[in-house]
């Protein structure tokens, strides 16, 4: 699969590389697994012909074996190295010494693994950064997939490398517009294709690369799911464990129970507590860690009603949502490779997940200014709204300076778009108190495919715009 996007990130890495002409630069690159951190750096390195570069992958092996491997990498460009490094002190000093005379890029992938191999590396690296920071032309890039460990190593004031990083780059998944480019390149042209793929695989490049490597883009989407997930040898069958079990450590079962509850639609604290059996007081501590420390869920509030206590929780990763919602929930059957009942359940219930995904895509499209004739030219904030009386509005977009408020509904099934839907939307809009008599209201409905032209005309007459996504 070709390399997509990452223009801003490549430009940022290039700017750091120029700074390294004068003094040592240390960049911490993080992001969830499979998001493309290594591919980004490899793409960056491929175009850096004016610098020597070295790529070191920190596998979980004994320290002396890693030193042997890294010695061989350096010896290819420095034949004077006739003996292997015996210590990390010798290895790192050599890197810094050669960078005094020539421009060097050194990349350490899965850097957090040094914690398990030899944590003295952190103190040694700190020493040489301090000693050579104004003498060397070293562009040092460290990549890490276990977010919590990387945060602790570089941003905990008690750790040796605290304050040594010059730059921090968090690599996010692709937005839906980039995923659509991938799908279009693979002849998946319908908007419903985007919803199918984005609902399950989100914006994670590795998953789309897996589909490409298996040459199954031309298959029915059910076949793709069976090949990658609902399969004894599926690449993604155990992906949830691979992605986050290491983050949680021995206590992962409790966190997994909470994530499963949120994934299946228990989004209020009371609902999660009832579903997991965890007392609300204890649960709140876990939820806070999942939001602020592990950054796996978001605490959402009704837009323009931030002082309310009507918060809801949502996983911020599409694949993990799908995996916990359907696979982990039925893990006993999955472990026995009894996938047919799970697949049947998915087919019967996945429309609810598709509906949530459709809302996400529309919000991203509004932010990226991809919705034609959207009434608010500059959207300052976007979200959803709900009340204690269970009234809900799927899309709220606002420009507070101009007192503009857009309210919209998303209906994946265009047969559910009715004149009454428009009337009800306007009534719910009256419940929003923000600048009630001073704002400019706009209303809209988003659906997939065409609706009856007469219905569309009637909705337009009551100032409700309709977008038919194709």
Contact 168, 28 (CB under 8 A): yes
Residue pair 173/3 in contact by the 8 Å Cβ criterion: no
Structure tokens at 454: 């007469």
- Distance from chain centroid for Cα 42: 20
Task: Report the pLDDT value the prediction gives residue 51, as an integer from 0 to 100.
Answer: 83
Task: Name the residue among 204, 245, 160 with its Cα closest to residue 31.
Answer: 204
pTM of the model: 0.93
Which is nearest to 222 in space by CA: 344, 361, 351, 355? 344
Residues 6+ apart with CB under 8 A from 383: 300, 301, 302, 303, 363, 396
Q: From CA 51, how far away is CA 102, in angstroms rounded?
A: 8
Average pLDDT over residues 29-50: 91
Q: Which residues contact 123 (CB under 8 A, 6 or more apart)?
A: 160
The neighbour count for residue 79, using CB atoms within 10 Å, is 7
Least-confidence region, from 76-80, 123-127, 133-137? 76-80
Which residues face 407 on adjacent strands? 396, 443
The Cα 267–Cα 318 span in angstroms is 15
Of 19, 291, 33, the residue nearest 134 (C-alpha): 19
From 140, 108, 126, select the one nearest 19 (Cα to Cα): 140
Interval 90-99: pLDDT, tens: 999 999 999 9
| Beta bridge partners of residue 395, listed in sequence order | 408
Q: Is the pLDDT of residue 49 over 70?
A: no
pLDDT value at 250 more than 90: no
Q: Check the CA dihedral 65-71-76-81 and report its sign.
A: negative
The pLDDT score that the predictor gives to residue 110 is 96
Non-local CB neighbours of 164 within 8 Å, separated by 6+ positions: 26, 125, 126, 129, 130, 154
What confidence tens digit (pLDDT) does each residue in 323-380 have?
999 999 999 999 999 999 999 999 999 999 999 999 999 999 999 999 999 999 999 9
Residue 259 · residue 253 · CB < 8 Å: no
* Cα 84 from Cα 331, distance rounded (Å): 47
Task: Give the strands of the sheet with 440-448, arranged side by side.
Answer: 381-386, 392-399, 404-413, 440-448, 464-469
Cβ contacts of 448 within 8 Å, gap of 6 or more? 191, 192, 195, 358, 412, 413, 414, 468, 469, 470
The distance between the two most distant Cα atoms of the chain, rounded to a whole number of Å, is 82
163 Rama sector, left if φ>0, alpha if ψ -120 to 50, beta otherwise: left
d(CA 465, CA 439): 18
Residue closest to 133 by CA, chosen among 79, 107, 96, 170: 96
Nearest alpha carbon to residue 287 among 318, 316, 255, 240: 255
Please compute the mean of the pLDDT values over residues 380-390 and round it to a whole number: 90
Q: What is the mean predicted confidence (pLDDT) over 123-140? A: 96
CA 433 from chain center: how many Å?
33
| Percent above pLDDT 90 for the chain | 91
Sign of CA dihedral 426, 430, 434, 438: positive
Mean pLDDT of 396-417: 97
Which H or E run contains 231?
none
Q: DSSP label at 413?
A: E
Beta-strand pair 52-57/25-30? unpaired
> Taking the alpha carbons of 425, 431, 435, 438 in that order, is the dihedral positive or negative?
positive
CA-nearest of 85, 170, 152 to 115 is: 152
Average the pLDDT over 105-109 and give the result. Answer: 97
Between CA 252 and CA 175 the distance in angstroms is 29
Q: What is the mean pLDDT of residues 441-452?
A: 96
Which domains are delineated in the chain? 7-170 (3.40.50.300), 239-338 (1.10.10.10), 371-469 (3.40.1350.10)
Would you place residue 246 in the very low, low, confident or very high pLDDT band (cuts 50, 70, 90)? confident
């Amino acid at each position: 699969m070709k390399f997509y996007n990452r223009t801003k990130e490549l430009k940022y890495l290039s700017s750091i590389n120029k700074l390294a002409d004068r003094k040592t630069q240390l960049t911490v690159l993080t992001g969830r697994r499979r998001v493309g951190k290594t591919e980004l750096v490899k793409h960056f390195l491929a175009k850096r012909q004016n610098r020597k570069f070295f790529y070191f992958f920190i596998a979980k092996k004994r320290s002396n074996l890693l030193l042997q491997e890294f010695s061989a990498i350096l010896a290819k460009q420095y034949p004077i190295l006739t003996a292997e490094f015996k210590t990390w002190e010798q290895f790192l000093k050599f890197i810094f010494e050669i960078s005094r005379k020539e421009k060097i890029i050194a990349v350490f992938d899965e850097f957090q693994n040094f914690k398990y191999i030899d944590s003295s590396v952190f103190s040694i690296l700190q020493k040489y950064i301090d000693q050579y920071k104004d003498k060397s032309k070293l562009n040092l890039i460290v990549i890490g997939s276990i977010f919590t460990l990387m945060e602790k190593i570089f941003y905990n004031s008690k750790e040796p490398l605290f304050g040594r990083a010059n730059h921090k780059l968090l690599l996010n998944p692709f937005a839906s517009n980039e995923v659509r480019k991938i799908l279009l390149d693979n002849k998946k042209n319908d908007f419903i294709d985007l919803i199918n793929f984005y609902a399950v695989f989100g914006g994670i490049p590795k998953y789309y690369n897996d589909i490409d490597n298996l040459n199954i883009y031309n298959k029915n989407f059910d076949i793709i799911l069976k090949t990658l997930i609902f399969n004894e040898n599926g690449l993604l069958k155990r992906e949830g464990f691979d992605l986050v079990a290491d983050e949680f450590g021995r206590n992962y079962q409790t966190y997994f129970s909470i994530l499963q509850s949120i994934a299946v639609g228990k989004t209020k604290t009371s609902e999660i507590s009832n579903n997991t059996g965890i007392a609300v007081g204890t649960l709140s501590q876990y939820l806070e860690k999942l939001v602020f420390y592990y950054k796996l869920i978001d605490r959402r509030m009704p837009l323009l009603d931030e002082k309310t206590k009507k918060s809801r929780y949502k996983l911020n990763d599409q694949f993990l949502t799908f995996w916990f919602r359907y696979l982990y929930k039925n893990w006993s059957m999955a472990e026995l490779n009894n996938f047919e009942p799970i697949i049947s359940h998915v087919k019967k219930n996945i429309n609810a997940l598709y509906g949530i995904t459709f809302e996400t895509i529309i919000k991203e499209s509004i932010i990226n200014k991809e919705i034609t004739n959207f009434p608010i030219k500059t959207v300052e904030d976007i979200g959803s709204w709900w009340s204690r009386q269970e009234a809900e509005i799927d899309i709220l977009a606002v420009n507070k300076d101009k007192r503009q408020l857009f309210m919209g509904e998303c209906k994946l099934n265009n047969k559910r778009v009715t004149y009454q839907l428009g009337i009800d939307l306007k009534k719910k809009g009256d419940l929003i108190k923000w600048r009630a008599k001073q704002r400019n209201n706009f209303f809209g409905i988003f659906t997939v495919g065409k609706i009856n032209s007469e219905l569309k005309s009637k909705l337009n007459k009551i100032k409700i715009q309709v977008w038919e996504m194709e």
